[in-house]
Structure 1
Amino acid sequence: MASPSPQDALPPLPADFQISPHDMYQVLSTAMWLGGLSPKFKYETTGEVIKRYADYAWQVRGNMTAKEISQRFGPAEPHAQWLIGIFDGPQNFAGTIVTIAYQMAPILPHPTNPNVVIPLFISFTIITTLIMALRLWSRYKVAGGIQPFDWLAVVGYVLTVIWGAVAVAHDHINTQWQAFYDKSWYNISGSIEIYYGLTIFYPWVMMTIKLSLLLFYYRMTNWNYIRWSVYATTVIVVGTSISAFIVWLVNCPHVRYWDYPWEQCRINIKKAQVAFAGLYILTDVIIWILPMPLVFQLKLYPRERILALITFSLGAIACVASCYRLVMLEQYTNYSSQSSTTLIIDAWTITELNLTLICSSAPAVRALAIHYAPKILNSLGTVAFATQNGSQHGKKGSIGSSTGSSKNGAHARVTADPEK
């Protein structure tokens, strides 16, 4: 008489059974390990691969061998032996995968990925392109020419668009499902590979955008404390970007660490990402408050001062986006049924990069509005790219007005020209 199948022999779990976070972590880890070590079935969902292992384990009554696993599923024998060892022996391995395949599988959740990356990429690309075009036109029309920090911002814009386009490819390879057991190893490894590329590319994009802002602040004043603050912030930004890049390259023995689950990486990848994101937020805050003393030093009418503060305070929006990205890094790099996706991180990174570019271009866009509609904004003498001392000198400043008009007609000097 043939032995019963595991589906017939094993009782179903109680109706009120709840999968604990520990159980979910075990299921998702098992899906990753078996999917990555079964090249013969890399196009099947890892849930199906677990079931194949469970059928084999049931057939041999738990007496699985590395040689047989290698022949059936395709890993090298040493790797198959590692797989057995990670479960503390063949019997525990058999019990775990049979339980997952035939008792837990019917109640596992199947969350879908949020459809946010493509809409965000398209929307922000259109908006940021428009803002950057207005910025360059403002420099040409109002400030007398496009400055080096503007060209650096253009490079940051191009890199941002490229980053977003790669994120769209990441969205595509991820399929509609979040949980690893609903995806094939082909999709999982492809997703990790693209996310790895996005992660090592991100520091260079952010560094370029921030350096354009720092160069802008450096050239708009000759105040020593601001220039030294720019120097210090530049060191932090460049150091953070280079460190993040190096850590990701040398963290694991192999760059394609996802294909070598038996190897131990040197640094916790999640903790490293969170640490670097925290450093970027620190520089965000510094860059946000850096121009504020200039605004308060200028002798402006209250309305002009408020408008100038609002213009430079827009950087706080980018800071908020950076903070949300940090929260997403913390939440969506955990193994759980609804956080084994990194698309939410992609979405907030697209938001962060584009908002940083948009906010950094706000003074130039405002200057263009002042130039074409002075009666509406009623603020020709502000810190936002207006001409220096009107048309008397025939020379245009960089951050707008290099002078601020006061009630008694006095002027506060900021800089004559960022090129000086």
Structure 2
Amino acid sequence: MSPPLNLTKGDLDLAASITINLGFLARNFYDSKTIDVVSAFSTFFNTTPNATDSELLSFSGARPNDLNILLEMLGDRDLLRDSILWLDAIAEYLPRTPGGAHLLIPVFTVFTVLTSIVLALRLWSRQTIAGGVRGYDWIMVFGYFMTLVYGSSALYHSININTASQFWSYSWNEIALQQMFYIYLDILYPIAALIIKSSLLLFYYSIFTNRYLRWSVWATFGFTLATTITIILYSIFKCHPVNYWSEWYTSTCDPHQKIPYLVTGSLLIFSDVVIWVLPLPMVMKLQLYRRERIAAVFTFSLGIFACIASIFRLQAVYKFFLTSAGTGRTPVINTWTIVELNLAIICASAPALRALCIRHAPKLLSYGSNSTDSSSRSNNSSGGGGMQNDRNIRKNTRSVHGRVIVHHDQMRPADHDLASLRSGISRTGSGWSDVEKSVHYSSTSRIGSPV
């Protein structure tokens, strides 16, 4: 029989099924690639066409019950032999694509360096500007280390375990190790996401004074915690026994795993959006100049980028369950997970970075621009009258949250005087309320979903 040059999807599905089942059956070959096991069985059947059960068990090392189950699944021994001979004939035409290390290594490296720098700047900003590092900052540091653990585990999996994308390129021991890592990463991801979200929600709780908003924080945390626990429990107990790869024929798994993963992933994205939106009504009520209000809303809204990464991750999970022919998509899922978790930390630290810019590099945010100098020159050129006018305006103003606000019954000063006033206002945060400090010094973001 001449082997086909173009294999169909059905051919590849069948090839994957044969390699998986034969790989588990042949306990004498657990360290050999499953496609090599197929070749060994093909040779055995060619030399022993009428092999008995005892000869087949002796050659493969299979347990009698496992062989009986496989033969019942196939219908007869002839079909087993024909399937193995067919797969051995087309083995050279099976696709063999590399794993995802080439994709994961640069993503992990870049985001680890970037997130480390951002988190260090955040802590520096808290310590030097906001009056000290708070509890929710340390929780975020813990979230960073959990993100690092996830990324390192995924990278190890990609380099040392997931070296190829098809089952026939692995031994059964390698396949079993992959299944173990899947459960481990399934559990690690929602835990890391929950820690990061907890940091954000604790921060919100510390600055919210409205009872309704505080209850919203508790409700969001409870919803996120319940979803996370559901994901963890499902990941562990979706199959019985938990280490189903050790009892491949007798284990039972949920045949509809895609649905729970997509539902829980969508729920986590929903909680991401809620956490992103939660502080915006508070920010809109702050007494800020229009430009600063827009900047504050934009700073708190950066979490939308992490939300987008979460959506792409969920799409990768969906494609993973649609993928067939023994080709896995786990490296793609791990890559989007690393992007999502790191973006969540980076976006959460944006307000603290903004505070550093205001303090140490105001021109980056158009604070202390050349308009100050031009205003000063204008005041000087107008003589003592300009300076007297400035003193009168300052005398007739009051401080609200550390900002100079002109009384409602006073005339609006000239533009050059107002520019001079604003340029002289200290933005170090002294005298600000906790809510207003939060816009300049604090954190936000979101994250979400399962693998």
Question: So what's the TM-score if we normalise by structure 2?
Answer: 0.79
Match of 1:355 among 343, 359, 365: 343
Give the counterpart letter for 1:401 in structure 2. Answer: K
Partner of residue 150, structure 2: 163
Which one has the largest radius of gyration?
A: 2
The separation in 2 between residues aligned to 1:306 and 1:93, in whole angstroms, is 69
8 Å CA contact retained: 1:138, 1:365: yes
Query: How big is the shift at 1:223?
Result: 2.3
The separation in 2 between residues aligned to 1:238 and 1:105, in whole angstroms, is 48
Do the aligned partners of residues 86 and 393 (structure 1) sit closer, same or farther apart at CA in structure 2, a change above 3 Å counting? closer
Query: How big is the shift at 1:324?
Result: 0.8
Partner of residue 140, structure 2: 153
Partner of residue 41, structure 1: 29
Q: Are 1:184 and 2:174 counterparts?
A: no
Q: Are 1:282 and 2:295 counterparts?
A: no
Query: How big is the shift at 1:316?
Result: 0.6
What does residue range 31-180 of structure 1 map to in structure 2 within 5 Å? 31-61=19-49, 66-102=53-89, 104-114=90-100, 115-180=102-167
Query: How big is the shift at 1:139?
Result: 1.0
Cα-to-partner distance string for 1:81-128 (whole Å, 9 max, x where unaligned): 1122222221222222211111x3232211122312222222211111
Partner of residue 303, structure 1: 291
Match of 2:402 among 368, 382, 389: 389
Do the aligned partners of residues 397 and 186 (structure 1) sit closer, same or farther apart at CA in structure 2, a change above 3 Å counting? farther
Query: How big is the shift at 1:329?
Result: 0.9
Aligned-partner SS, 1:126: helix
The separation in 1 between residues aligned to 2:149 and 2:429, in whole angstroms, is 42
Partner of residue 292, structure 1: 280
Partner of residue 248, structure 1: 235
8 Å CA contact retained: 2:147, 2:341: yes
Give the counterpart letter for 1:99 in structure 2. Answer: W
Q: Are 1:12 and 2:2 counterparts?
A: yes
The separation in 2 between residues aligned to 1:358 and 1:180, in whole angstroms, is 37
Match of 2:186 among 185, 192, 199: 199
Aligned-partner SS, 1:401: helix
The separation in 2 between residues aligned to 1:400 and 1:299, in whole angstroms, is 8
Higher deviation after alignment, 392-401 or 173-182: 392-401
Give the counterpart letter for 1:178 in structure 2. Answer: S
Query: How big is the shift at 1:14?
Result: 4.7
Query: How big is the shift at 1:400?
Result: 4.9
Query: How big is the shift at 1:48?
Result: 1.0
Cα-to-partner distance string for 1:21-62 (whole Å, 9 max, x where unaligned): 23222211221222223222122211111222233334444x
The separation in 1 between residues aligned to 2:343 and 2:429, in whole angstroms, is 35
Structure 1 moving runs of 4+ over 4 Å: 63-66, 390-400
Query: How big is the shift at 1:131?
Result: 0.8
8 Å CA contact retained: 2:12, 2:326: no
Give the counterpart letter for 1:119 in structure 2. Answer: P
Give the counterpart letter for 2:437 in structure 1. Answer: S
Do the aligned partners of residues 27 and 139 (structure 1) sit closer, same or farther apart at CA in structure 2, a change above 3 Å counting? same
8 Å CA contact retained: 2:190, 2:231: yes
Gaps of at least 5 residues in structure 1 are 1-10, 381-386, 405-420
8 Å CA contact retained: 2:129, 2:429: no
Gaps of at least 5 residues in structure 2 are 369-399, 404-425, 441-451
The separation in 1 between residues aligned to 2:439 and 2:222, in whole angstroms, is 30
Give the counterpart letter for 2:98 in structure 1. Answer: T
Query: How big is the shift at 1:369?
Result: 1.4
Give the paired residue count: 384
Ranked by relative contact order (alpha carbons within 8 Å, sequence separation 6 or more), the top structure is 2
Partner of residue 377, structure 1: 365
Aligned-CA RMSD value: 2.5
Partner of residue 8, structure 1: none
Greater share of helix: 2
The separation in 2 between residues aligned to 1:154 and 1:242, in whole angstroms, is 22
Give the counterpart letter for 2:190 in structure 1. Answer: P
Aligned-partner SS, 1:146: coil
The separation in 2 between residues aligned to 1:259 and 1:92, in whole angstroms, is 25
The separation in 2 between residues aligned to 1:246 and 1:150, in whole angstroms, is 29
What does residue range 301-380 of structure 1 map to in structure 2 within 5 Å? 301-337=289-325, 339-378=327-366
Give the counterpart letter for 2:208 in structure 1. Answer: T
Query: How big is the shift at 1:398?
Result: 4.8
8 Å CA contact retained: 2:187, 2:231: yes
What does residue range 255-274 of structure 1 map to in structure 2 within 5 Å? 255-262=242-249, 263-266=251-254, 268-274=256-262
Give the counterpart letter for 1:111 in structure 2. Answer: T
Aligned-partner SS, 2:223: helix
8 Å CA contact retained: 2:14, 2:325: no
* Identical pairs, percent: 34
